[in-house]
Structure 1
Amino acid sequence: MKSYFILSMCLLFLTYYFLNFNWLRYLVVIMAFISFSVCIIRAHGFPRILAIGMMGSGIALEIGQGGGIEAIVDGILFVLPLLCILTLAPLLSVPLKIGGYFKALDSFLGNMLHNPKIFFAGITATLFILSPVLNLGSVRLVDEFLSNLKLPSAISSKLYLVGFSTAMFWSPYFTSVTMVLYYLELPVGKYIFFGISLSLLSLLLGNILLVAWEEKHPLNIISTDISPLERWERNRLVMLSLYVSSLLLTPLLIEYFTEWSMIVIVSLISIVLPLLWGTFTREWIQLSPHWNVFRNQTVPMMNNEIILFTSAGLFGHAVQDTSFALMITGFLNTVAHHSFLLFAVCVMGIVITVTYVGIHPIAVVAALAMQLEPNELGISSIALAILLLLAWSLSVLLSPFSGINLLVSKMVGRSGVEVGLLSNGFYVSLVATLGILMFLFLS
């Protein structure tokens, strides 16, 4: 039943976006509160406490400032696009789970084992490409392929986090990108070149460090059993490439011609593309079980994400123009006017510190994105977006409480501190330097 509330909320919001009926505005907000309520019951631990605190504080602030019900409605509507993309994006992976696409990918990666440099590049590039579509599922997929190789846990930690994190700089299918650009009112088409540039440079840097590590710690996984891919495998890889390419180009073209919100575009694509896939391949029977898994398992497992995004969005909306928010904004504006470098270090320090102790980066990044005005800071919107996404991505790498860190920790049998700080701390410092240099250049 919970899944139906959440999915109905998403569909109602998409309908409201295009029809803009006032009664539908209130109905979708009611559905959002119902979804939040049913998710908060199932959530546990610190995320539940944090979400209740932010939701209660947000409502109290909106009422205390005289905004009342209308202000609360506006705050929820402000975050609903993010809830839509968060909920619907996993549908993009459904076609890829059918028909041997991942098996063909395994064969392709297996032919790279003879050369560590090519092997590392293949693994990280695969994560770079598939992470926007599969999210953490891309890491699980690669881990299944690598499980038989018995790689050292240190190199697995580096491979997974380098490949996954770089996609967080650029992909419109990542909530980090869509949220920051949405709040900064920056079209993806104007940003994506710079985001991809930073991602590719970070990917190159990560591979250089991986090769340097391997030279000191030889892996001994040389394979001479290189067999040509079968025809069906080559066809599947071509179809996989076309599918991913369409995911990247289609939203940019739609945004250019329609000027719709990118979050709405991506949400619509998440619904429509699997339907088109089923129509052209006539694999409806194979699609059906995966839809049931999405409805009955994937959506119900989003408790923490839904409550954190909903509460953080409302809290971020409510905290605008409060004395505390104005104090923080004033401090950062003052720092920026003295030194862009010091401003960048302060923003990254705030985000990384808050995330490292277990608070989801959305709470602080959303507040900063809504509070900071590029014109007042004297920087471009693209530069501010790069900085906020850099801080988000690196904080996720370092925090032992982040989703990717917890997943990799479980896979390699190491603690979150070992996976994040010890295995990837040097890489994080170099990427931070690279990202800040790009920020200063774009400012």
Structure 2
Amino acid sequence: MTEIITRTRSLSTFGLSLLYLSNLFLKSELVNELCFVLMIAVMLLSLPAISGISRVIGYASLGLSAVLFLLYRAPLSVWKQALTGNLYLVALFTMVPILSIPIRHGGYYPALQDFFRRYVYTNRRYYVMVSFTSAFVGVLVNLAVVPLVYQIVQASEISRNKKLMSSAISRGFATCAIWAPTTAAVALVIQVSGANWGRFAPLGILCGVISGIIGYAMTKFKENESGALKHVLPEDTKAHLMDHSMDHSMDHLEGGSKLNKIIELGAFSVVLIAAIAVISVVTGIQTVIVVSMAALTFPFLWMGLIGRLPVLIHDIKTSYFKNRLTKLSNEIVLFVGAGMLASSITFSELGNYIPVALSRLVGDSAFLLAVVVVFGIVVLSALGVHPIIPITIIGGTIQGSDFGVTSTYIALLLGISWSMGITLSPTSATVITLSGVSSRSPLQVGLEWNGLYVLVTSSVLIVVITGLRMVGWV
């Protein structure tokens, strides 16, 4: 019986997402009603399946939303709009996992693992490569980045340093979580702020690069200070590996082939991001919708060109429906619940107090607005409040024009807050997953290992975007 319910939930989620994307062009009222019915079904099937902190946050968000709607006598149309308001995120969650199939079955794992085994033998080099890999892979697979990168980096002996490994993965993912269109957080930020992703992305990438540099600099400084920056592999072992690589032509050929696979992965990834940006700008279609459609179609082109299309089709028929879609319940309930909470606060007019309170705190200072928003969300995240809640509420209730700033500026504030919040919060999926693979508590992985990094990076990025605003770039 459980298996039947799980399969029904997977098929319903996929069908809902496909209908939603199709109806953006069909514009059929009948299909729209069908999406509403399916949304109710998916939520009812997902609620019993969520667990852990997601259950607490999800149930609390939905419960509080229902109370506010009932107290303020919201009509059915408002309930309907609130429930389906974040349907675009459900479509994104559903389609993006297909992008991970070419990475997992395109022959890239062995190449990346071989690279780590051969060339990554110091803490400094390890941090750079792991954080870069996390950022790179995170653009394509979103929250699946932790288990995927964890599998890759185990080829390096340095992965036994759980603190270094966890910090590198979480901070690396944070650099792409600020701007990547394939992440649900950026889709939400763009939606609630009303910003244009084409204008937002270059500035978001800049913030991501700065975050990466800060993470590396802090790691380098700490390792130098403690004297821990050393070769983890013995010198004779490294020499043996390098001699072995130089003296055997088969290793040269194999190494060249694996390098080609890494270049191939990079090329396909660049083409994907570029295509998303161009299509979004040229057609005017929302970037999150373009991402969902690209995730549904691009893997077929990718795997077709490298001659592995049957593998893709087989994985979709088996693993995608049986495993990937069955694990989306937490994300669906969290984001739909957050959307409903924001809608209920807006409808009840309680949201009117948020911009008033912010205005009294910061006046007309864009710098103070940045400080209050970013550090307010970071502090709440440290206390265990998932960043999706304050970001959805703040983004849904304030307008940039009320504070003399652009929607892009607001989007950057929210993007930075999300990125730093998920790196720190013991309730974020990133920290919880890293807690599992490192066998440490979420508080240690988040607050202890990343607390100072979040504090420094948040401060620097606030100064950066304030400076960008002063020169008229945002």
Query: TM-score range with shorter-chain normalisation?
Result: over 0.9
Q: Distance in 2 between matches of 1:258 and 1:234?
A: 36
Q: Distance in 2 between matches of 1:422 and 1:50?
A: 23
Q: Distance in 2 between matches of 1:377 and 1:345?
A: 14
2:49 to 42, 46, 52: 42
1:118 to 116, 125, 131: 125
**2:177 partner letter:** M
Q: Within 5 Å, which residues of 2 pair with 1:290-305? A: 290-291=315-316, 292-305=318-331
Q: 1:361 to 1:28 in 2, by over 3 A?
A: same
Q: 1:113 to 1:282 in 2, by over 3 A?
A: closer
Cα deviations across residues 53-103 of structure 1 (Å, max 9, x unaligned)?
322433454455454121122223321101111221111111111142111
Q: 1:159 to 1:4 in 2, by over 3 A?
A: same
For 1:360, the equivalent position in structure 2 comes to: 386
1:341 shift after superposition: 3.3
1:168 shift after superposition: 0.6
Secondary structure in 2 matching 1:230: helix
Whether 2:36 is the aligned partner of 1:26: answer no
1:276 to 295, 301, 304: 301
1:212 to 206, 221, 245: 221
Q: Distance in 2 between matches of 1:155 and 1:45?
A: 26
- Which region of structure 1 is more displaced relative to structure 2, 170-179 or 328-337? 328-337
Contact in 1 for aligned 2:127/2:165 (Cα 8 Å): no
For 1:433, the equivalent position in structure 2 comes to: 459
Unaligned 5+ segments in structure 1 are none
Q: Distance in 2 between matches of 1:158 and 1:196?
A: 20
For 2:332, the equivalent position in structure 1 comes to: 306
Secondary structure in 1 matching 2:85: helix
Contact in 2 for aligned 1:93/1:134 (Cα 8 Å): yes
1:158 to 148, 158, 167: 167
1:149 to 157, 175, 197: 157
Cα deviations across residues 266-291 of structure 1 (Å, max 9, x unaligned)?
00001001222243334233223421
Counting aligned pairs with the same residue, the percent is: 22
- Which region of structure 1 is more displaced relative to structure 2, 268-277 or 148-157? 148-157
Whether 2:250 is the aligned partner of 1:230: answer no
Q: 1:14 to 1:146 in 2, by over 3 A?
A: closer
For 1:198, the equivalent position in structure 2 comes to: 207
Q: Distance in 2 between matches of 1:217 and 1:340?
A: 41
TM-score, normalization: structure 1?
0.94
For 1:389, the equivalent position in structure 2 comes to: 415
Q: Distance in 2 between matches of 1:308 and 1:234?
A: 40
Cα deviations across residues 233-259 of structure 1 (Å, max 9, x unaligned)?
122112101111012111100011100
1:194 shift after superposition: 0.4
Q: 1:390 to 1:284 in 2, by over 3 A?
A: same
Q: Distance in 1 between matches of 2:381 and 2:102?
A: 34
Secondary structure in 2 matching 1:172: coil
1:307 shift after superposition: 0.9
1:22 shift after superposition: 1.4
Q: Distance in 2 between matches of 1:426 and 1:376?
A: 32
TM-score, normalization: structure 2?
0.88
Q: Distance in 1 between matches of 2:266 and 2:465?
A: 31
Cα deviations across residues 141-200 of structure 1 (Å, max 9, x unaligned)?
332344351532222222122211111111101111111012222221111110000101
Contact in 1 for aligned 2:364/2:404 (Cα 8 Å): no
For 1:239, the equivalent position in structure 2 comes to: 264
Contact in 1 for aligned 2:65/2:341 (Cα 8 Å): yes
Unaligned 5+ segments in structure 2 are 1-7, 246-251, 470-474
1:230 shift after superposition: 2.6
1:354 shift after superposition: 3.4
Secondary structure in 2 matching 1:94: helix
Contact in 1 for aligned 2:365/2:403 (Cα 8 Å): no
Q: 1:58 to 1:401 in 2, by over 3 A?
A: closer
For 1:173, the equivalent position in structure 2 comes to: 182
1:6 shift after superposition: 0.5
Cα deviations across residues 24-70 of structure 1 (Å, max 9, x unaligned)?
21211111111011000222344334323322433454455454121
Q: Distance in 1 between matches of 2:60 and 2:127?
A: 43
Contact in 2 for aligned 1:397/1:404 (Cα 8 Å): yes
